[in-house]
Amino acid sequence: MSVKPGWQGRFFEDFGVGDVYQHPLGRTVSEADNTWFSLLTMNSNQMHFNAEYAARSEFGRPLVVSTLTVAIAVGQSVTDLTQNAFANLGWDEIRMTHPVFAGDTLFSESIVLEKRESGSRPHAGIVTVRTRTLNQDGREVCSFRRTFYVYKHGAAQLEGIFPDGERPIGLEG
């Protein structure tokens, strides 16, 4: 029996300018997601939770909170981009290009725009990506640039995170 490590994520050295990552998990946004996010973030704009109010708008129904759309896009990208990141340095050029409604399924993809060694942290580098999110019909609903610090392979900060069990795992339980 041998230990097979799970997906460890990408490290600074694994990124190349021009690399495109189509993030693997789509996410259908529910009305409950929109309501809870509105409540959690104290967003009191009625376009997000009052159907009668929203019916009078050009959209005719409640919109999903735009910051929820951005949060889902960022979350979708973690597996490919920031599993080994330790700090976001900025989000720029955030664009909400098409409305999102409850029932829409979102998919995100990112392209690496820049990468450079960190001058102050020899164990890390800085990567900039552009991410866009598409709905189920292929319509772009948002896009943004994001810059983050990401560890290099072998960074001491990542050593020994998984604890040793009190006893080894075995086939018998």
Amino acid at 12: F
Mean pLDDT of 17-22: 98
Percent of the chain that is helix, strand, coil (3-state, to 5): 25, 30, 45
The pLDDT tens digits for 32-55 are: 999 999 999 999 999 999 999 999
pTM of the model: 0.91
Q: Which residue is it, tokens 């640039």?
A: 145
Residue 66: CB atoms within 10 Å: 16
Domain 12-154: give its CATH superfamily.
Hotdog Thioesterase (3.10.129.10)
The whole-angstrom separation of Cα 42 and Cα 37 is 8
pLDDT in tens, 107-159: 999 999 999 999 999 999 999 999 999 999 999 999 999 999 999 999 999 88
- Sketch the domain layout of the chain as residue ranges: 12-154
Chain-centroid distance of CA 32 in Å reads: 20
Q: Give the span between the Cα atoms of 114 and 16, in whole angstroms.
A: 8
User: Sign of the CA dihedral 36, 42, 43, 44?
Assistant: positive
